[in-house]
Structure 1
Amino acid sequence: MDERVDWSVLPDEIWSAIGKRFDNRIDVLRFRSVCRSWRSFIPPFNDSSPPLRLRFPLPFLSKADAFVSQNTVYRIDPPHEDQDPSFSSSGKGWLVKVEEFGPGKVRLLDLISSHRIRDFTSTCPKVFSSLEFRMAELSKAYSLRYVCGSSSISGINKVILAPNCIGLEDSAIFVIYDQGKLGFAKNGAEDFTLIDNRILDYNDIIVYMGQPYVVDRWGTVSWIDSSLRVIQFSPPLFGFGSRKHLVVSCGELYVVDRYLDRNENMHDGDENNNSDRNFNAFLRHPLRRRRYDYCQAKTVDFKVHKLDEEWGRWVEVKTLGDQAIVLGSDCCFSVSAREFAGFKGNCIYFTEQLDLDFALRGLGNLDGCVFDLEDRTIEKLAYCPGSFPMFSLPQNHVHVEQSKNACAVACELGKNS
C-alpha cells in the first residue's frame, strides 16, 4: 500500500511549524522562495546576531564604537539534475566563505586566510541564485570592526558570540585579545570584563555543546559558565607545541597542537608593546605593491589530541581517517574529504597567520598550506580546497593587486526575501 502523501495537501499548520524551526538565514530564504503560500507561513529571517554597538577601553588606543562582522562558510551541493558537466562530474560539494556587509550583499573570502577575493575570472557570474543549488550553513566566524571606516580593531585575535543569547539587546561577545587575554563584553557595555586574570596565554575559544570553551598554551581546556567562571574541563596537555587550536570533528572536541620552528612567547618583555612588535614583524615585499611578508616562526609539525573522559587523559590521534581539519584565520572546523572537492582525508589545512590580530592579517603572506598526518609533510596549496568552481582562484592570484574590473557578485545569501 502506497502511503505517500502529496506535500501540497499537507495542512498549513504543519508547514508553519516546520518553517519556525529554521535557525539560519539561508534555510528561511529557501523556504520562503518556494511559493507565495509558503512565503506567508514565516516572516523574513530576523537575525539576532551582529552588528553589536560596543565601546572599548584600553588596551585599545582609544574608545570607539564598534560592530561585530560575521563571516559564514556555506556548503554548496550540485543540484540533483545538473546539466553542466563541470559541476556534476564529481558529485562532490564545495565550500564558499562570505562576509555579509549589507542587505543582499556579500563579499567572497578565501576559505583559509579570510582575505577578500576580488580578482575573479571572466566566467564569474554577476548574479548567483541560492535556489539553483542545495546550500547549508557549515560554520560562522566573527571579527570586531570600527563603525567609522569598518577597519578591524587592532589587538583582537579571536571573537565568538556568547551562546544562548535571546536577542540583539541581550547579545554579548567573548574575545581573546592582546595575545592571550580573555575578555567579555555585553551589547552597549563601556568596557571589557577581563576573565581569569591568572592566565594571560589563551590560544583559542569556540562554542561547543552550547558553552564557550577555551584552551591555553599548556593545553588545558576549560569552559565558561553564566557567571563568567572558568571551569577546568581537562588536564593540561603538556604538549611541546607552541599554539593550541580547538576543533570539533564528528561532534567531539579535539586539540590540535601546532609546532613552530622556534618557540615564541608573545608576553616576554614589555607587554605594552605587543601592537608595535606585531606590526614591526612585517617586511615590505620587494615585488608586490602593498604586500608584506611576515617574519614569524614557521609551522613544522602538528599533533592532534582527543580527551579520554573516562580516564581523564589526553590520547594522541594518529589518523583522522576521512576527516580533514581546516585551521582558518578566524575559525576552525572539519569536513569529510570524500564529500568535498579538493580535500584529502587525514590532513590539516592551515595558514601561517596564527599570531596576527585581525587588523594586520590582510598584510601578510596569504598562502594556504596542507599538513599530511600520514607522512608528516607540509606543502603549499596551489588552489584553495573545496572552492566553488565559479569562484575558484589559484592561491598566488590572491597576492596580485586586485583588478579594477573585478566581477561584482550580488549573492542572494543575505536577502530577506
Structure 2
Amino acid sequence: MGGWSKIPEGLVRIIEEKLDLYQDKVKCRCVCSSWRLCLPKMPHQKQNLLPWLLVPLETKAETSFGFFDPLEKKVHCLKLSDPHKEMMFRGSSHGWVVNLDKNNSICLINPLTGAQVKLPPRTKFPDVGNYRPNKPGNEFGLRADTRPPFLTLSKDTVRNQFLEKVVLSSSPQSDEDFVAVAIYGVSSWLAYYKRRDNKWSALDRSNCCDVIFYQQQLYAVLCDGTVMVYNIHGSLQKKTVVSKFSKGLVSRYYLVESSGGLIMVYRHVRCYSEIDLVEPDSRTIYLYKTCGFRIFKLDTSRGEWDEIQSIGDDILFLGFNSSFSMSSKNFPGHAANCIYFTDDSILFHLQGIAGGFDIGIFNLSDGSIQHLPGYKTCESEISIWPPPVWFMPNFIN
C-alpha cells in the first residue's frame, strides 16, 4: 500500500465533494501536502459552523457556559463575565444575548467580543408598582392588571418567570437607533426601550407569545393567536390586527422570517404527570414534551394565514432566541425542512420542576422528533438550568 499522498487526484476530489462540513473540508486538506495542492482553495466561510447552542457547563467551582455545535457534536468553552452561575439568558438577536442577572439587571452581551450594553433593569418596567430591596423575599410589587392591588413577589421569582424574552431591531453596536422589545409581566405584556431611555415604556397590555422585527415593523403574536403590527418608528402604537387562531394552554406561537416571507409556527406541547409511588407523600411532578408543529404563511395580499406542509430548504430555530431561519444550502450538514427547538416553557421552570430538557429537531417531512445529535437529555432525571438558547453571531457588527 502506498501512502495517502499516492491516492489519485481525481479520487481525492471525489472524497472532498462528499464532505458537508466546512471544518471537515479543512481537515481533508491537512492530510498531506499533495491533497492540499490538488484541492481548490477554501473560501472564508465562518458561518458554516453556525448556529450554535449556548449551554450551561457544570464544573466543580462554578457554572460556566459553552457553545454546543450540533454538527461536530462538541462543546466549545466560552469565557463570559463573572459570576457565571448567576447568568440567565432571555434573548438572542443580531449576535448579542440578553442576560438577566441575580439582581434583575439586564445587559446585552456579545459572547464573541465580550462587549456589553446595559439596558434599564427589571425594576424599570411599567408593571412594577413598588420595589423594596430591604424586604428579602418580598422585594417586588407587580401589577397583574392596569390598577392595584399588586402581587408581592421575590426578586428570584420575578427574575425566573416574569421576563420571557427580549428582541432587538438591530445590533446596538452598529445602530444608535436600535429598539429593544420585551415580553414581560404576569400577563405577558409588551414594553420597549430606545437608546438613552432610562426606563421601559408600555407598548401593549395584551398577552403575547412572540415578537419579531420584520420589514421595518414590529409583529407580535398574542397567546390567542392574534397577530398585531406596530410601527417601530415614533410612538410604536398599535396599527392593525392580521388574523387569529386558538391554541392549548401549554402550546406556543412563534413568528419567523423565512425565505418565503413571514410565517407563524404553532408548537404543540403535551403536559403529563408522574407520581412517585415509592414515596406516597411526594408531590406530583408535571412534565411536558413537544409533540409537533404546524406552519402558517402570511398572504400579504389578503392579510390572512394559509397553512403549509413544508418550508422547503429552510431550517427554523425557535426558543428564547429571536426566532430565525436559514437555508440548508448555505449550511451543509443541517437537514432541510426541519425545526430546531429549545425549551422555553417558563411556567415549569419557575416552579422548580424539571425543566430545560425539551430540546430537539422536528422533521416536517415525516413528523418525527429526534434529540440534537450528541446532546441527549432525559426529562425524568435532569433539569438544565439556565435553559439553553440558540445563538447566531453577526460577524459584520
Residue type of the alignment partner of 1:143 = V
Q: Residue 208 of structure 1 aligns to which amino acid in structure 2?
A: Y
1:354-385 per-residue CA deviation (whole Å, 9 max, x = no partner) reads 336999999833452111212212222233xx
1:182 counterpart letter in structure 2 = L
Whether 1:159 and 2:159 are equivalent positions in the alignment is no
Taking a change above 3 Å as real, the CA distance of residues 189 and 224 of structure 1, as seen in their structure-2 partners, is same
Report the CA distance between 1:295 and its aligned residue.
3.6
Secondary structure at 2:346 match in 1: coil
SS at match of 1:235: coil
Letter of the 2:262 counterpart = L
Structure 1 residues 166, 96: CA separation in 2 closer, same or farther (over 3 Å shift)?
closer
Asked if the contact 1:174–1:183 (Cα under 8 Å) also holds between the matched residues in 2, the reply is yes
Q: Superposed, which structure 2 residues align to 1:156-305 within 5 Å?
A: 156-162=163-169, 172-178=179-185, 180-187=188-195, 189-197=197-205, 199=206, 201-225=207-231, 226-232=234-240, 234-238=242-246, 242-250=251-259, 252-262=261-271, 295-305=286-296
Name the counterpart of 1:108: 66
Alignment of 1:2-21 (within 5 A): none
8 A Cα contact 2:257 2:263, kept in partner: yes
Counterpart CA distance in 2 for 1:138 and 1:189 is 20
Contact 1:157 1:358 in 2 (8 A): no
1:302-381 pair list within 5 angstroms: 302-355=293-346, 364-366=355-357, 368-381=359-372
* Whole-Å separation in 2 of the counterparts to 1:396 and 1:313: 38
Instruction: Please report the TM-score for the alignment, with normalisation by the length of structure 1.
Output: 0.50
- Aligned-partner Cα distance in 2 for 1:195–1:126: 35
- Compared with structure 1, are the counterparts of its residues 108 and 334 closer, same or farther at alpha carbon in structure 2 (3 Å cutoff)? same
Distance in structure 2 (CA, Å) of the matches to 1:351 and 1:146: 21
Q: Which runs of 5+ in 1 are unaligned?
A: 1-75, 100-105, 113-118, 128-136, 264-280, 284-292, 384-393, 403-411
Matches within 5 A, 1:33-72: none
Structure 1 residue 202: Cα displacement: 0.5
Alpha-carbon RMSD? 5.1
Between the aligned partners of 1:156 and 1:210, the Cα distance in structure 2 is 24
Listed as ranges, the matches of 1:397-408 within 5 Å are: none
Seen in structure 2, the aligned counterparts of structure 1 residues 369 and 413 have a Cα distance that, compared at 3 Å, is closer
CA distance in 2, matches of 1:250, 1:145: 32
CA, structure 1 residues 415+172, in 2 after alignment: closer, same or farther (shift >3 Å)? Answer: closer
Change (3 A) 1:164 1:81: closer
2: CA distance between counterparts of 1:141 and 1:362? 29
Q: Which runs of 5+ in 2 are unaligned?
A: 1-20, 55-63, 80-91, 107-155, 276-283, 385-392
Report Cα offsets for 1:312-364 as digits up to 9, x if no partner.
Answer: 32111111122121113323222222432442112111123233699999983
Residues of 2 paired with 1:401 and 1:217: CA distance? Answer: 26
User: What CA distance in whole angstroms lies between the structure 2 residues aligned with 1:252 and 1:326?
Assistant: 16
Q: Which amino acid aligns with 1:229?
A: Q
Say which structure, 1 or 2, has more relative contact order (CA 8 Å, 6+ apart). 1
Cα deviation 1:188-220 (Å, max 9, x = unaligned): 5454322222x1x10001211122221112322
Distance 1:357 1:329, change over 3 A: farther
AA at the equivalent of 2:291: V
The sequence identity of aligned pairs, in percent, is: 25
TM score, norm. by length of structure 2: 0.52
Instruction: Give secondary structure in 1 for the equivalent of 2:366.
Output: coil
Q: 1:322 to 1:187 in 2, by over 3 A?
A: closer
Aligned 8 A contact 2:298 2:304 in 1: yes
The alignment status of 1:382 with 2:373, answered yes or no, reads yes
**Does the alignment pair 1:94 with 2:49?**
yes
- Distance in 1 between residues matched to 2:313 and 2:211, nearest whole Å: 25
**What letter corresponds to residue 214 of structure 1 in structure 2?**
A
Q: Where does residue 26 of structure 1 map in the other structure?
A: none
CA distance in 2 between counterparts of 1:361 and 1:109 reads 25
Q: Report the CA distance shift for 1:362/1:139 in structure 2 as closer, same or farther (over 3 A).
A: farther
Instruction: Measure the CA separation in 1 of the matches of 2:292 and 2:78.
Output: 41
Letter of the 2:183 partner, please give it: I
SS in 2 for 1:206: strand
Q: Is the 8 A contact 1:349 1:371 kept in 2?
A: yes
**Structure-2 separation of matches of 1:139 and 1:231:** 25
Aligned residues: 269
The answer on whether the counterparts of 1:350 and 1:368 sit within 8 Å (CA) in structure 2 is yes
Aligned-partner SS, 1:261: strand
